[in-house]
Amino acid sequence: MKKLLAAVCILLALLLLVPIPLRLKDGGSVAYRALLYTVTDVHRIAPESESGYLEGTVIEILGTEIFNNVG
């Protein structure tokens, strides 16, 4: 019984914490999504910017943005 409980806990932890990379269709951004959090490496075309691109990182936990340095 203990082995089954341990296996279920490990599987649950993997589902909640292991991210799946997704390529976004905005010019090169990649989002790493898990059930609990999302980390997005932004590389987006932005003609209004001096360099022509917006770059940075956005971190969300449970859907709430906690870090954003895109610019």
pLDDT, position 62: 93
Asked if 34 and 18 touch (Cβ cutoff 8 Å), the reply is yes
- CA dihedral of residues 52, 57, 63, 65 (deg, nearest 10): -90
At residue 25 the predicted structure's pLDDT band, cuts being 50, 70 and 90, is: confident
Query: What percent of the chain lies above the pLDDT cut of 90?
Result: 49
pLDDT, position 7: 93
